């Protein structure tokens, strides 16, 4: 039989998926099969699993919730589905859309089970897969099936005006199984590209290290150290598509872990992060972890001006300060194994800046033993003595064994 839409009985309509459809809810997709268009988005919430929707009946939402629930590894989720256009097979496509969105969650929260849904129908006495809207209206019975690629049936929903006999039932099941396999293949091809993009070409033989920093001053210093070991440095400036990591921690270590763990998870690579800051004794240790945002965000001149202002009238002997760096090296998806090292350097905050090298507070940070500020040193000289250099020294002794472990 040739269908009115020129498809064979076992032909499903093409699928198009736009992954990460919503910018503010990255676990979202626009799922289109033929003229059926569904927007699905998943958000982490606490409490019980919720499914809400618009342009969808309560019965559809209840079915979707009951069908998805056994596939979830966590109930702390809310799924929102919106039917933009119903071109047939709505129930199955609601499932497919929601299932795709769930797969955009972090890996450990994705469904453990591979599953897809498809509709089959009896139309003019013949069984067809994935009926469009016209066929759905003509169908005497409709079946929606959710199944795994191994033909384990997870849900089955029958509707329509006419009862079906057991041979029709078997035909519908057979068509549905094939449809599920096809749907899975249709989804998987795009999914792998969207969710598991090809890894950046980086040597895994420890000749390249990714550093989760956007600070070019830090990058320069890391580069100088690692270049002598024949190791190339990449920074977040090489990966402009990565999201910003908010430094919400209460300590240098917490912030360095946030940067390293999250970027390692995104890149699927080992990642090194640096969180550092200036602790001024006369200011009770401030600006500390807030060194980058002491006066506006990353305004070195503003930060230095504020530091000088706050130290107005404080005599030289009381202007002692410590520069601190915590480095965290993280392996993807193994945050418990993070390698943590740190380094400090003592100095004094001058009243007038000196030197043009370095970055940040370097022109005000005076090292008595060298009779120079950090900004009066070359990168190589700063790398002999600085807080960062001391932390890197610790790292050098440990990282090769750690990365192999």
Ligand X SMILES: O=c1[nH]c(=O)c2ncn([C@@H]3O[C@H](COP(=O)(O)OP(=O)(O)OP(=O)(O)O)[C@@H](O)[C@H]3O)c2[nH]1
Site for ligand X, rule CB under 6 A: 213-215, 218, 247, 274-277, 291-292, 298, 303, 358-362, 365, 374, 386, 388
DSSP at 246: P
Q: 261, 274, 275, 338: which is the annotated catalytic residue?
A: 275
User: Residue 276 binds what, of Mg ion, ligand X, none (CB under 5 to 8 Å, by partner type)?
Assistant: ligand X
At closest approach, how far in Å is the CB of 299 from ligand X? 9
C-alpha dihedral over 372, 374, 378, 381, to 10 degrees?
80
For residues 144 and 304, which CB has a smaller minimum distance to ligand X in the complex?
304
User: Residue 277 binds what, of Mg ion, ligand X, none (CB under 5 to 8 Å, by partner type)?
Assistant: ligand X
Q: Which of 103, 87, 79 is nearest to 32 (CA)?
A: 87
Environment class of residue 91 by beta-carbon count within 10 Å: exposed (0-12), middle (13-18) or buried (19+)? buried
At closest approach, how far in Å is the CB of 50 from ligand X? 36
User: Residue 131 binds what, of Mg ion, ligand X, none (CB under 5 to 8 Å, by partner type)?
Assistant: none
Q: How would you classify the pairing of strands 36-44 and 28-33?
A: antiparallel
Stretch that binds Mg ion, among 80-88, 195-203, 233-241, 291-299 (CB under 5 A): 291-299
For residues 128 and 327, which CB has a smaller minimum distance to Mg ion in the complex?
327
For residues 87 and 277, which CB has a smaller minimum distance to ligand X in the complex?
277
C-alpha dihedral over 3, 169, 157, 160, to 10 degrees?
60
276 is in an annotated binding site: yes
Quote the CA–CA distance of 235 and 213 in Å, as a whole number.
6
Environment class of residue 246 by beta-carbon count within 10 Å: exposed (0-12), middle (13-18) or buried (19+)? exposed
For residues 244 and 404, which CB has a smaller minimum distance to ligand X in the complex?
244
Is 238 annotated in the active site? Answer: no
Q: Collapsing DSSP states into helix, strand and coil, what is residue 379?
A: helix
Quote the CA–CA distance of 228 and 319 in Å, as a whole number.
35
361 is in an annotated binding site: yes
User: Residue 361 binds what, of Mg ion, ligand X, none (CB under 5 to 8 Å, by partner type)?
Assistant: ligand X
Number of helices (H) and strands (E) in the chain: give both, helices first: 9, 16
Q: Which residues are catalytic?
A: 275
Q: Which residues are annotated as a binding site for Mg(2+)?
A: 246, 275
Footprint on this chain of Mg ion (rule: CB under 5 A): 292
Q: Which residues are annotated as a binding site for substrate?
A: 213-218, 276, 359-362, 382, 387-388
């Amino acid at each position: 039989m040739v269908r009115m839409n020129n498809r064979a009985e076992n032909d499903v309509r093409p699928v198009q998926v736009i992954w990460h459809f919503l910018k503010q809810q990255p676990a979202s997709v626009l799922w289109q099969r033929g003229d059926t268009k569904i927007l699905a988005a998943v958000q982490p919430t606490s409490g019980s699993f919720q499914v809400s929707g618009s342009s969808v009946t309560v019965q559809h939402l209840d079915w979707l919730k009951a069908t998805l629930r056994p596939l979830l590894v966590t109930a702390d989720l809310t799924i929102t589905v919106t039917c933009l256009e119903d071109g047939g097979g709505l129930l199955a496509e609601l499932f497919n859309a929601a299932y795709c969105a769930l797969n955009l969650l972090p890996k450990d929260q994705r469904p453990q089970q591979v599953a897809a849904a498809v509709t089959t129908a009896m139309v003019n006495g013949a069984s067809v897969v994935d009926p469009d809207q016209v066929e759905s209206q003509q169908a005497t019975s409709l079946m929606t099936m959710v199944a795994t690629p191994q033909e384990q049936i997870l849900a089955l929903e029958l509707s329509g005006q006419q009862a079906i006999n057991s041979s029709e039932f078997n035909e519908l099941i057979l068509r549905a199984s094939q449809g599920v396999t096809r749907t899975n293949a249709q989804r998987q091809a795009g999914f792998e590209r969207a969710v598991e993009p090809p890894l950046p070409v980086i040597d895994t033989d420890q000749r390249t290290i990714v550093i989760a920093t956007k600070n070019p001053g830090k990058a320069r210093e890391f580069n100088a150290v690692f270049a002598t070991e024949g190791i190339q440095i990449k920074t977040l400036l090489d990966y402009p598509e990565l999201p910003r990591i908010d430094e919400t921690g209460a300590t240098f270590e917490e912030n360095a872990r946030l940067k390293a763990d999250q970027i390692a998870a995104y890149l699927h690579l080992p990642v090194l992060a640096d969180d550092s800051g200036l602790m001024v004794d006369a200011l009770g240790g401030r600006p500390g972890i807030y060194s980058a945002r002491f006066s506006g965000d990353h305004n070195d001149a503003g930060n230095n001006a504020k530091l000088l202002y706050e130290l107005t009238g404080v005599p030289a002997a009381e202007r002692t300060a410590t520069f601190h760096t915590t480095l965290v090296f993280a392996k993807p998806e193994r945050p418990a194994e993070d390698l943590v090292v740190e380094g400090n350097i003592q100095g004094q905050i001058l009243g007038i800046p000196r030197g043009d090298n370095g970055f940040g507070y370097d022109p005000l940070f005076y090292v008595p033993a060298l009779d120079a500020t950090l900004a009066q040193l070359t990168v190589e000289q700063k790398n002999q003595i600085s807080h960062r250099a001391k932390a890197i020294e610790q790292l050098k002794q440990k990282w090769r064994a750690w990365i192999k472990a």
